[in-house]
Structure 1
């Protein structure tokens, strides 16, 4: 009888426990599936929100470009139709200007409203246009049904002109009508192809927090993933939901049926646990890894170091902090892609140079951290000096370029009680290296007064970027006068939005900033002064702007021997018209 009971009771208990385990496993797998699908949906929402934002900003950028043309022309815009034609693409319905708020020019004229529209006093457009004018902010109205068919979003960018007294006055609007959904067609098509239902919405107006539907699935999405973003003060919202929902019910049904057999139940359960565990590890790895360089990010680095110091509180160890010297110049001169390449090359050299037990991390930007366990400062000092002194290279357009690093390091527990204090010591040593001329390696010395981080940044950023005058650096080479750096005031004076635009229209040559008929005489004057043993005195010429017009300027420079670029000119450029306006007729002699 007992044997009979065991024969039935034990299998029954195993069956019941197995069924409980199966039901529990199905629940866990279902929740994990939902979480994983939600995570994927969040990542997709984040990715395509960025793309939609970029597509919208690219369309809105048309009004910014047109605005700069109006400002540079002091309120006059010539060849509007030629300029607008160059800005048009398939996602734009029309480009318009509205001096004093009245639409006077529309491109293309065909199939668009040709009558003048008073935006300020129009019943449908007036309130929001007045808001844009009074608050000096870009507004987006729509989606509006277009007379040509389809829908569009009207972007109006207020333009203010500044007189010689610094007073601003409203000029009017630069306007672009963006087609919906063409403006973000690539993003929404990609979402659809990935099997998502979606809904794109935005605030109806800057003062109204009610969302209005822009494009997508008109029906309400049940418990979707939501991602909000802002465009010029307008809150936009992207909602996405897998077409089949977050649960795959068919899979769960098959799992339940297969679980009737205990062996298959165990095998399926094991496979599910392995899959879940692997997903967990992958997400954890992604959370602590820097995507660009493949080494630990700041969070991952701190976590690893904390764990080591917690487990080995008495062992000596060293933390080093380093960064790339003049990394901003690398980005400005060669572009951010080259800057990323330099960061990757530096990370690769660190992985090759240091042993496997050394923890490597990127703090952010061009700053890296190195943790060396079970060692002292004296032991690693020669090793770190050798690494700092090695030539480091990156490539831009197939050409090889070199860069240097600065490194500071400190020892635990000699100078610090915990990780954060140890990293602060290493950071202070790093900035002491910066203060001494960069491209060096130094250990932190207890009690030393090291200048603050803020003072170091003063030299490069505040003096160059915020210099109250136009400033440019170019090679002192008659055959290759390549432009290396220009500050924001020089970009403003030439009518450029950024350094890339300046390099594009000059072909990277300083000579191309000079009016063609003056190039030879200007260059001859500059080099005759240099060859005569004098610094570059004041030189007068007409400087070509990005829009092809010319302004009268004075050039005053110095020739300098640069460690990385050889002989270069540091040049201040002054707008002669501005000088005459402030200092009177005495400057007319200079132009003559």
Structure 2
């Protein structure tokens, strides 16, 4: 069973909401995971920046040790080679002393790397000049030697106690050996890196000196750590080898989407169950033909509202002569009549009224919180209007009868109130129908026995022959009782209709037809006073099915009928039998 339109819209909205929520959860978790990775990367960057800082500082300490040795000896160099050997490390390429700017002491290279590579360099001259002016240790490079080695050069000016410039201490560090261990550790923990340094004290442009990426590639959205050592700015940038992709965003989305799917499945099943329960309740509490409450639904709804109502009028209504509509026009016409009345009652009473079909052609209306006098006017107005509908291209008319009782004046409980409205309805029926009666105590004592007879039973109980036919047109026979059927020697009513061709015209002997028609018209014309009915008295012959000729005395009355128009009700007596009875 599919969902109704309203529930389809709600589930679609809920599905969109849950999908959006799942996407948002996946995005937020992924974003949080990336932020956590960036925080972790910053922590890693800080740790490795400090480690590289220590690696470089080891080289600076050796320069400062030599500078102190010269200073303490007031410019005299003693045991240089022994001291250099003590200070030498695998990552140190050379240790050099330059009194008055000229290389005089070098270890292990006899002429020194700087002297070989940069003694004619304009850049070295600028750097030495800056070092003297600042009186601070500095570094520059890495520079590439003729042999292809990369060296980081640390320069420290030596001023004696008399503040005169003695010269320079220079140490060259092998790059990347000096910090290679730290950089390799970064790669082992799955980080790519790029390492930058200012060119020198005189040139603050940051040059890329080391990178784990192929030439020409840059890190995407890296974190960075900047530090200063040797009066130069250094910068370490890094990013995860796999990029900043979240490892938790997609699983979080899948988990949220799975939970959302379970919720949606539960919701759809819940709504289907609810709709099924509502449909079963509809079947249990609603009349399928009219869509109104059935008796059970009406009583239950009335039971809910009655305790809260300040006043209430309970009305019982039914169609007058409903069986006749079914007999004349068929049961489909009867269904149309009931549907028509249901729609009419919904238009005739306030929207908060409770309306139900509580029996075959019986309806109930509870008018809630309306003044009793106003309710009575509504009921009388509804009853006073003749109802018409079309069935099989024929207009069918009917009237309504009603009885009503008031709460709390005339009844306290539902059953008491409905019983009194029912008694008022039958009082209206017994008084001639198409009326609305308010309950009165005497109505409880009215006998309903006369309502227990229908037309057929009454006609069969008459001591003679009885016939009803239309006065106009083809004089169609509408009814014949059993005595008349037997008089003509017919088996049953269908045989009687077949024998008479269903018409009063063919019921009369052919030789008497014109005479009978003229006499009836003459007698009607003589009754000048129009009382709505005309009495006629004629005698004519009929031919029975077995060929016998009988003379019948016809005592008839023509009246206007709401369903058939002008109709004759006729009592017939066999003239020969009547004469014998009189003797």
**TM-score category, normalised to shorter length:** 0.3 to 0.5
TM-score, normalised to structure 2's length? Answer: 0.48
TM-score, normalised to structure 1's length? Answer: 0.47
Question: In terms of Rg, which structure is larger?
Answer: 2
